[in-house]
């Protein structure tokens, strides 16, 4: 269907702004056309050499050099672990350790678990506060610190993800840790 009357001034102005804002889908034809125009200009005026300015394509954003992000265990994996149909390949109990000792032991444990090909590890931290204990005393330090350590850069290369363990494996006082495959 064709339009019988010509465009009004408003329509013409709108059309010009739209066509200025549109970029061609394929740049190849535009590049060929620019090269042909440059060659024609060189033939017409041989006294002036025509310089082609080539702009490099925009650089892709640099990926951070850090470790990959953590991923959740997943509902099925968690169910299998809770039921006992998925095997826990390695266990470590950090009860009674100082923070420094626990961090070193956890790093060594995860390195060893990865080397041995473990898929899932159980890290027991303990629940922390006991009933009747001094409310002002700091309790449950490892329970708070171990997830932070697992998220940190030095241990992230061994860990795919982690979540609280099921009741049968210690509940809130333990963590299921998916161990990253070794290379």
CATH code for the domain of 87: 3.30.1370.110
> 70, 156 in Cβ contact below 8 A?
yes
Contacts 24+ apart (CB under 8 A), 139-146: 141/99, 142/94, 142/97, 142/99, 142/102, 143/172, 143/173, 145/99, 145/102, 145/103, 146/94, 146/102, 146/106, 146/175
Query: Is 20 inside a domain boundary?
Result: no
Query: Is 92 inside a domain boundary?
Result: yes
Query: Is 132 inside a domain boundary?
Result: yes
Helix/strand/coil (H/E/C) assignment for every residue in 62-129: CCCCCCCCCCCCCHHHHHHHHHCCCCCCEEEECCCCCHHHHHHHHHHHHHHHHHHCCCEEEEECCCCC
Query: Is 104 inside a domain boundary?
Result: yes
Residue with token string 């590890």: 121
Number of domains in the chain: 1
Task: Assign 131 a pLDDT band (cuts: 50, 70, 90).
Answer: low
Query: Is 25 inside a domain boundary?
Result: no
Query: Is 7 inside a domain boundary?
Result: no
> 91, 59 in Cβ contact below 8 A?
no
How far apart, in whole angstroms, are the C-alpha atoms of residue 154 and residue 149? 8
Query: Is 64 inside a domain boundary?
Result: no
How far apart, in whole angstroms, are the C-alpha atoms of residue 107 and residue 100? 11
Residue 74 is encoded by which pair of tokens?
């997943």
Query: Is 19 inside a domain boundary?
Result: no
Greater confidence (129 vs 86) lies with 86
Question: Most distant CA pair in the chain: distance in Å?
Answer: 97
pLDDT score for 105: 92
How far apart, in whole angstroms, are the C-alpha atoms of residue 171 and residue 124? 9
pLDDT score for 108: 92
pLDDT in tens, 4-42: 677 788 888 888 888 887 776 665 666 667 766 766 665
Number of C-beta neighbours around residue 153 at 10 A? 8
In this prediction the pTM is 0.58
- Lowest-pLDDT range of 55-59, 115-119, 148-152, 170-174: 55-59
Domain residues for the domain of 161 are 75-179
pLDDT score for 104: 92
């Amino acid at each position: 269907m064709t339009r019988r009357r010509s465009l009004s001034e408003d329509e013409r102005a709108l059309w010009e702004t739209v066509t200025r804002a549109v970029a061609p889908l394929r740049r190849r034809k535009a590049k060929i056309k620019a090269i042909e125009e440059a060659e024609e200009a060189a033939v017409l005026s041989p006294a002036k050499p025509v310089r082609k300015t080539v702009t490099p394509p925009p650089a892709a954003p640099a990926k951070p050099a850090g470790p990959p992000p953590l991923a959740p265990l997943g509902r099925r994996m968690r169910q299998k672990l809770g039921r006992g149909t998925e095997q826990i390949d390695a266990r470590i109990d950090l009860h009674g350790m100082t923070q420094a000792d626990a961090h070193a032991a956890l790093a060594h444990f995860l390195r060893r678990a990865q080397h041995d090909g473990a898929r899932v590890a159980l890290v027991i931290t303990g629940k922390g506060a006991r009933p009747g204990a001094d409310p002002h005393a700091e309790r449950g330090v490892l329970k708070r610190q171990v997830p932070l350590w697992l998220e940190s850069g030095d241990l992230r290369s061994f860990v795919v993800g982690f979540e609280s363990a099921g009741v049968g494996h210690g509940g809130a006082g333990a963590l299921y840790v998916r161990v990253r495959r070794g290379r």
